[in-house]
């Protein structure tokens, strides 16, 4: 009954933590491709190759369902994977859909034509690769019209968080928010389009101001996964053990992950 959670580094641990709290009975196998992080500066083909390799490893670990808890992988690789790579009987899901459901207040099963929604001006903070893909705007257009999206590529933020330099991460976030505000002075809402960014949510909110509603992914993905498994219980894979896998140095990654979640996490080599 295991579910796989993949990220290029440590950011997906925010999703894992939320899923573990929402579905404590489900074993979770986490795969961090720390040796190749960050993905945000890689080409689409490179991201696809690395993501499929990681997903295959999670399938081998007894996960029939894998969550790409990495916005860059969701943006650059997911559609290509779903169209021609995912084996029969397996599922790979991304993290954009729950976010857009919350932003537009529409369930993804609602297939009525796009319509106007409450928000009109949305700030998207994401990695350079996610911004280049325009995947968020494409998925949003299926459900909403009249929404102006201004994307800001947040270079350096993931690296700073992965290295545990939260002072630098704070400064970079504020710099990126300032750059966004020069293009869109008064956003209605802000989307934190990277699973690392929830760790900086308070900084984003402070820099944006209290009038801007900030949408962060972890709890939204956890709730969406719970709903999906209730509707599709057969997608609970045969795995019975939770695990943390990494392509990086297990000791170093374990130490950073422990600081990240503030509880002891033990990674093993993938």
Helix (H) or strand (E) holding 191: strand 189-193
Alpha-carbon span 194 to 71, nearest angstrom: 5
Catalytic one of 70, 177, 200, 245: 70
Cβ proximity of 26 and 236 under 8 Å:
yes
For residue 62, the SS3 value is coil
For residue 36, say whether it is annotated as part of any ligand binding site. no
Catalytic residue flag (residue 63): no
Tokens found for residue 178? 């300032």
For residue 197, say whether it is annotated as part of any ligand binding site. no
For residue 228, say whether it is annotated as part of any ligand binding site. no
How distant, in Å, are the alpha carbons of 77, 104, 252 from that of 146? 27, 12, 46
Phi-psi label, residue 184: left if phi above 0, alpha if psi -120 to 50, beta otherwise? beta
For residue 195, say whether it is annotated as part of any ligand binding site. yes
Residues 6+ apart with CB under 8 A from 63: 2, 3, 4, 29, 237, 239
Catalytic one of 194, 207, 212, 270: 194
For residue 40, say whether it is annotated as part of any ligand binding site. yes
Alpha-carbon span 160 to 155, nearest angstrom: 10
For residue 224, say whether it is annotated as part of any ligand binding site. no
Give the chain's end-to-end CA distance (angstroms, integer). 20
For residue 121, say whether it is annotated as part of any ligand binding site. no
Tokens found for residue 3? 């579910």
In 10 A of CB 162, how many CB atoms? 22
Catalytic residue flag (residue 194): yes
For residue 33, say whether it is annotated as part of any ligand binding site. no
Q: Which residues are catalytic?
A: 70, 194
Q: Which residues are annotated as a binding site?
A: 7-8, 39-40, 71-72, 195-196
Q: Which residues are annotated as a binding site for substrate?
A: 7-8, 39-40, 71-72, 195-196
């Amino acid at each position: 009954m295991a579910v796989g959670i993949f990220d290029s580094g440590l950011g997906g641990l925010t999703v894992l933590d939320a899923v573990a709290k929402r579905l404590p009975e489900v074993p979770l196998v986490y795969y961090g491709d720390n040796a190749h992080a960050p993905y945000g500066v890689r080409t689409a083909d490179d991201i696809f190759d690395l993501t499929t390799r990681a997903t295959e490893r999670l399938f081998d670990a007894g996960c029939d369902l894998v969550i790409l808890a990495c916005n860059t992988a969701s943006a650059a690789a997911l559609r290509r994977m779903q169209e021609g790579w995912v084996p029969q009987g397996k599922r790979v899901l991304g993290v954009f859909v729950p976010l857009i459901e919350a932003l537009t207040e529409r369930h993804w099963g609602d297939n009525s034509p796009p319509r106007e929604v409450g928000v009109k001006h949305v700030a998207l903070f994401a990695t350079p690769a996610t911004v280049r893909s325009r995947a968020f705007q494409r998925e949003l257009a299926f459900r909403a019209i009249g929404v102006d999206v201004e994307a800001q590529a947040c270079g350096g933020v993931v690296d700073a968080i992965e290295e545990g330099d939260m002072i630098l991460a704070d400064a970079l976030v504020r710099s990126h928010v300032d750059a966004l505000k020069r293009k869109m002075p008064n956003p209605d809402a802000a989307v934190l389009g990277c699973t690392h960014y929830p760790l900086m949510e308070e900084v984003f909110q402070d820099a944006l101001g209290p009038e801007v509603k900030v949408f962060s992914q972890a709890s939204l993905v956890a709730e969406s996964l719970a709903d999906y498994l209730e509707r599709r219980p057969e997608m609970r894979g045969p795995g019975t053990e939770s695990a943390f896998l990494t392509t990086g140095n297990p000791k170093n990654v374990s130490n950073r992950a422990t600081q990240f979640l503030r509880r002891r996490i033990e990674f093993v080599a993938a």
